[in-house]
Amino acid sequence: MSILKVSQLGHPVLRRVAEPVDPEQIQADAFQRFIVDLRETMAAYQGVGLAAPQVHVSNRVLVYLAMGEEDRDPEVLVLVNPVIEPMGDEMESSWEGCLSIPDIRGLVSRHSQIKVTALDDTGQDVSYVARDFEARVIQHEVDHLDGILYLDRMDDLATLSFQAEYDTFWARDEDEDDSE
């Protein structure tokens, strides 16, 4: 299909609240092609998630790479009109980047566990609990649907780093923490 152009920080589409998708339109050829394009664009940009506003379409649809269990290969899931609810108060800080803000990383606190309710790419209801990295990716992408960027969620802008500096100064600290 097509690799779509990713909107960059400063484009107004990234600050708009996206419009809900009419469930009757999910099966339409044009919408199904758009989902394929979203998947291909995410893969081409080596992302783990992509929301429609990031490709200049103000609709409440996103795709993300669900890592799955150890015995399953990762798969790209589609969420249409997603609603998320935090499950508990536990928050976790971790580094995030964004295809719309290339080569920049920042430390963001997110809920460790969320309940996801949405329609899938066939228009069927889905509801599940997402944890840890999967929960982080979904929250990041749903923020795009609400006109919010990860920069808006950062507790401390002092951690904002170009990718090269992150790799040099911050990733090393993360690796050391992982080995303890």
128-152 residue pLDDT tens: 999 999 999 999 999 999 999 999 9
> Is 2 a member of any domain?
no
Confidence (pLDDT) at 74: 84
85 is catalytic: no
> Is 163 a member of any domain?
yes
The CATH number that applies at residue 111 is: 3.90.45.10
Question: Which structural domain, as residue segments, surrounds residue 35?
Answer: 12-179
> Is 1 a member of any domain?
no
> Is 6 a member of any domain?
no
Confidence (pLDDT) at 71: 58
27-60 residue pLDDT tens: 999 999 999 999 999 999 999 999 999 999 999 9
DSSP the chain: --PPPPP-TT-GGGGSPPBPPPGGGTTSHHHHHHHHHHHHHHHHTT-SEEEGGGGT--BSEEEEEE---TTS--EEEEEEEEEEEE-SS-EEEEEEEETTEEEEEEEEEEESEEEEEEE-TTS-EEEEEEEHHHHHHHHHHHHHHTT--HHHHBS-GGG-EEHHHIIIIIHHHHHHHHH-
> Is 123 a member of any domain?
yes
> Is 100 a member of any domain?
yes
Confidence (pLDDT) at 1: 72
Confidence (pLDDT) at 174: 58
| pLDDT of 177 strictly over 90 | no
Of 40, 141, 176, 180, catalytic: 141
> Is 5 a member of any domain?
no
How many structural domains is the chain composed of?
Answer: 1
50-108 residue pLDDT tens: 999 999 999 999 999 998 666 567 899 999 999 999 999 999 999 999 999 999 999 99
